[in-house]
Structure 1
Amino acid sequence: ALCVWQLRRQARQRREYLQRRAQEEQLRRQEEKKQKLRQALDENRLLPTELRREALALQKELELDTPGLDGTGSQDDEYRWAGLEPPRVMVTTSREPSSRLRLFAKELCLLLPGARRMNRGRAELGALVGACQAAGVSDLLVVHETRGSPDGLLLCHLPHGPTAHFTLSGVVLRQEVGGLGGGSPAAPHLLLLHLDSPLGRRVGTILKHLFPVPRPDSRRVVTFANQDDVILVRNHVYKRRGRTVELEEVGPRFQLRPYLIRLGTLEQGDAADVEWRWHPYTATAPKRRLLSTT
């Protein structure tokens, strides 16, 4: 059990984290207003209605801004120290997993270099997250299933979040892919394709920091390709033969679709603030592309 002073320290760090996130969001909104004002002045058109009351104050701030700097640098980026140390990833499953789910969790550990798998047992989420925080784990992955088919992935970045919720589909195991049996344990090069919207960059940041920095001579490539807001995940190894390159898929192969990002850890549940939520039932939902600008 945690001591009282440890609980107080965690609560204080959590409050500081949320305060810095709120300040960062306020600065981002202020920069968006200045950008709209600058664009309206450059194009010599009417100011947006929501900016007319504070246009003079924004113009004074624009005159003081340094050219080339937007002033929106992250004050509290959860991944600002990424790359100094390799991530420590823990993979677990829902309770009473099927054999296919256990095998898929094992193959996730092969996909993520240095990841370890933990049997869920009867552990609750609070005890699970607390044990990972005490062990210095950087990310916790929880895989869920429905009738023996993996269909959900929860990705919790420790110690303060965020927690990303994904639907999981199209799971093909390594033995079903039919490529190389063992593959390569080296850290892979990452390809993030068509994740160029603000939300896409946020999801890409969450996913890419599960992997350590690769060596230049690594012969493994993991691809996260966005296609109609569905992220296709592929794992390949390649060999050079003269001027040609032979590419072979080793698996596992699956698809991810984000539907919720919370500014908190997994055990906080609905108490954590919602950073983004997918609204599929709005009138414009079929027309929008969330993860890419095109």
Structure 2
Amino acid sequence: MSKDFTLNGLFSVKDLHVLITGAGTGIGLYMAKGFAANGAVVHIVGRRQNKLEEAKETLLQINPDAQVHFHAADISDRAAVTELVSSLKLLDVLINCAGIVLPDPPCTHLSPLPDLQAALLASPEDTWSRTFSVNVESVFFLSVSVLHLLAKSAHGGRIINVSSIGSTMSDPNTHQPAYQASKAAVNHLTRLLASKFREQGIRVNAISPGYFPSQMQDASNPKSMLARAKELVPVKRGGEEEDAAGTAIYLASRAGSYVNGELIVLGGGREWA
């Protein structure tokens, strides 16, 4: 059998059926743009129908011939996930990008002990349960729910989980312990699922983004990490849409087919800076 080392051969995602959660905005939408532009059949999922409609219009502006379907669903609701999966006939790639970060009272390692303790204990009662429900449990349940579809993929099913640079960094100036812990859980869940699904021919990997424009990172806020990216990140900038899309396409295509159970840090070197 001849080998195809061309870009169209190695990185092709044409005609792949790709489901992306959290695709109405931010990193999920950036990834959807990349797949739609390159001929994939793209299913975008989110809670807000208006955002999904806007996202679909954006994808069709990029590629008028793109096949784009949107599904309004809360992926933390198991019944909604079951209904979503029942509407799908084919699936090659699942990208678990939906996530939430709930604000906690600010504190740093320099806070006096009483203030530090009070801030950490003042976290709302449901912060941890809601964060883990959306960021971890939904990743597990949706991945398992589409297992039968991914196993039938002619190219071998692929799952890409979107983690966060906060899953491996322990910057004492941040105050998102539930979010960071949930994303660390996603990292290990990725390895667990890669091990569990290996006999089904399904690869599972994770991407750990740094500072990208999103609802979690507002570049107009001078105190945000994204606004400070030139100062904090070795490559002197925040992440851009093509960075997110390109990494997802790599993992979904033949080019990344020997990568399994891995975490790709997409932070411009910030994780060691």
- TM normalised by structure 1 equals 0.24
Compare CA radii of gyration and give the structure with the larger one.
Answer: 1
More strand by share: 1
More helix by share: 2
